[in-house]
Amino acid sequence: MKILVLLLITSIAFAQSRQERATTAADAFLNLNFYYKGRGMSVSPDLIKLYDSLNKMGLSTGELGPLYQRWGMVVQKSGNVRGLFSEPYEGMQVGVLGCVACHGGKAAGQYIVGLGNKNIDVGQIGSDAVLAMKMWGALPHRNPKFKELHERALSFTKGLSDPKITNHTQGLVPTSFIRSWFYKVKGEPIPQDFLKGLVKVPHLWGYGEKKKSGLTWGGEGNGDLGGWIPAIELSAGQSVENVREYFGEKVKHTEEIFESFLPPKYPFAVDATKAANGEKIFVKSCQGCHGTYNRDFEGLPIYDSPKLVPLRVVKTDSDRLDAMNDDLIQHIDTNPLNEYIQVWKHAEPGYVAPKLWGIWARFPYLHNMSVPTVYDLLSDPATRPKQFSMKNAGERDRFDEVRLGLTIIKKDSWKRRLYDTTRKGSSNQGHYFESFKTFTHENKLELIEYLKTL
């Protein structure tokens, strides 16, 4: 009996700390960046002071202002930009990008840490930053270290805006930027037929189990070693030696943060009867790939590992998987940080069928964000929207509670905000299986109601 009481008490204490840990983790991630010894994702020294002073004068660009529209960066009421830091280095202030610039985003008007940013536009940020930095660099700067940092930042932003590499649409991130490092580090040019492999930024809750079936959308990253965590920093000009130096401490800390994340709760009403019917359909038609959804006694998710589904079965756009070709794998196998950054080879290429916790917030759907709502994803690909605007995609008025996902606006005055499924890598085909053909309108709504509970 005593043991039972003790067990109960410790498990209650543990459960309470799970919610608390999630909150602490979110705060820690909001403040995290990997800038180290003057290297990482940064712009020219002291350029950030310009933004700081505009902000202090109340002239910053506002929550839905140009910074949000043009770059897709989330701006708070205070004018602070999520994931933009001002780091001191050798008497200068350096503007630094943190992970949440991409790995924090909005859905239905809520800001959610660990959700992919639906609007981030690294290509636009890159080309605007190159322009601003060229002007900034032409002015006199006294600090002897300025030039070195400036040149490195210029090389980072030029890489981001390189037309061979970069994205053309908000929310799509070119994985080619990271892949190009494996060539650059060997002093080789990137191959002629280099694919962009454009993807949306994945959610990070459930990471501890996700990593066991392989990191990234294609599951090709070895998740045991943690080496992919600072990969983007290397592409941004961090040195191999510095990553080795900080690896042990920073990577472990970051993994602990991710492992504590919880999915965001659906913020509106859910019809329990409909959801129960939806669950029955889910068990028959979806569970085989997307797995089961168990909870601890507090109702919080018990995470488990997702499955990899061959491309030949799921038949979604192949560009992202084609990008991982033999030449690249050979380069990854021989990269100078290969003790940490390794590939997991699968019997055949495929996409991870992601666990669907917090799926309501993760639209537009699929790895290339080509399908705006769950309703469309459950319907014949021929009927799915071909173009849709990403303008204010995370705001309340763009959230469709019925079809679950993004409301459809077919046009946009600004091309980079318009998702076009006819572009390379942006196909909205696939993920339409035999059983889906039997779904009635009502069945789809029931499935959607169930997904809201996850």
**One residue of 132, 270, 289, 329 binding ligand HEC per CB under 6 A:** 289
Are 99 and 32 spatial neighbours (Cβ–Cβ below 8 Å)?
A: yes
User: Quick check: 179 binds ligand HEC (CB under 6 A)?
Assistant: no
Distance of alpha carbon 286 from alpha carbon 280, whole angstroms:
10
Structure tokens at 224: 């045991």
Distance of alpha carbon 415 from alpha carbon 47, whole angstroms:
28
Taking the CB of residue 145, how many other CB atoms lie within 10 A of it? 14
User: Quick check: 362 binds ligand HEC (CB under 6 A)?
Assistant: yes
Distance set, CA 55 to CA 15, 81, 103, 287 (Å): 41, 10, 24, 49
Question: Taking the complex as a whole, how short is the minimal distance between the CB of residue 120 and ligand HEC, in angstroms?
Answer: 6
User: Quick check: 150 binds ligand HEC (CB under 6 A)?
Assistant: no
Contact track, ligand HEC, 117-136, x by CB under 6 A: ---x-x--------------
Are 350 and 314 spatial neighbours (Cβ–Cβ below 8 Å)?
A: yes
Distance of alpha carbon 1 from alpha carbon 8, whole angstroms:
11
- Region for residue 397 given its phi and psi (left: phi exceeds 0; alpha: psi -120 to 50; beta: otherwise): alpha
Distance set, CA 140 to CA 91, 144, 158 (Å): 16, 11, 22
User: Quick check: 102 binds ligand HEC (CB under 6 A)?
Assistant: yes
User: Quick check: 43 binds ligand HEC (CB under 6 A)?
Assistant: no
Question: Taking the complex as a whole, how short is the minimal distance between the CB of residue 4 and ligand HEC, in angstroms?
Answer: 38
Are 248 and 100 spatial neighbours (Cβ–Cβ below 8 Å)?
A: no
User: Quick check: 365 binds ligand HEC (CB under 6 A)?
Assistant: yes
b/e sequence 237-259, b meaning 16+ C-beta within 10 Å: bbbeebbeebbeebbeebbebbb
Which listed range, 11-19, 336-344, 366-374, 412-420, lies at the site for ligand HEC (CB under 6 A)?
366-374
Question: Taking the complex as a whole, how short is the minimal distance between the CB of residue 296 and ligand HEC, in angstroms?
Answer: 22
User: Quick check: 377 binds ligand HEC (CB under 6 A)?
Assistant: yes
Question: Taking the complex as a whole, how short is the minimal distance between the CB of residue 396 and ligand HEC, in angstroms?
Answer: 21
Q: Tell me phi and psi for residue 284, to 5 degrees.
A: -75, -45
C-alpha count within 13 angstroms, C-beta hemisphere, residue 364: 33
Which residue type, as a one-letter code, is found at position 33?
N
Whether residue 364 has a cis bond before it, omega within 30° of 0: yes
Question: Taking the complex as a whole, how short is the minimal distance between the CB of residue 132 and ligand HEC, in angstroms?
Answer: 18
User: Quick check: 234 binds ligand HEC (CB under 6 A)?
Assistant: no
**One residue of 73, 262, 374, 418 binding ligand HEC per CB under 6 A:** 374
User: Quick check: 359 binds ligand HEC (CB under 6 A)?
Assistant: yes
Place of tokens 């290339």: 368
Which listed range, 16-24, 44-52, 182-190, 358-366, lies at the site for ligand HEC (CB under 6 A)?
358-366
Question: Taking the complex as a whole, how short is the minimal distance between the CB of residue 436 and ligand HEC, in angstroms?
Answer: 6
- For ligand HEC, the closer of residues 149 and 236 by Cβ is 236
The closest alpha carbon to 368, from 163, 229, 107, 173, belongs to 173
Question: Taking the complex as a whole, how short is the minimal distance between the CB of residue 9 and ligand HEC, in angstroms?
Answer: 35
User: Quick check: 355 binds ligand HEC (CB under 6 A)?
Assistant: no
**One residue of 22, 73, 115, 232 binding ligand HEC per CB under 6 A:** 232
**One residue of 217, 266, 293, 399 binding ligand HEC per CB under 6 A:** 217
- For ligand HEC, the closer of residues 91 and 288 by Cβ is 288
Distance of alpha carbon 218 from alpha carbon 98, whole angstroms:
24
Question: Taking the complex as a whole, how short is the minimal distance between the CB of residue 223 and ligand HEC, in angstroms?
Answer: 7
User: Quick check: 227 binds ligand HEC (CB under 6 A)?
Assistant: no
Distance set, CA 142 to CA 147, 155, 158 (Å): 10, 21, 24
User: Quick check: 425 binds ligand HEC (CB under 6 A)?
Assistant: no
**One residue of 48, 73, 74, 101 binding ligand HEC per CB under 6 A:** 101
Site residues (vs ligand HEC, CB under 6 A): 34, 97, 99, 101-103, 120, 122, 173, 175, 199, 201-202, 210, 215-217, 229, 232-233, 254, 285-286, 288-290, 309, 313-314, 316, 351, 353-354, 356, 359, 362, 365-367, 374, 377-378, 431, 433, 447
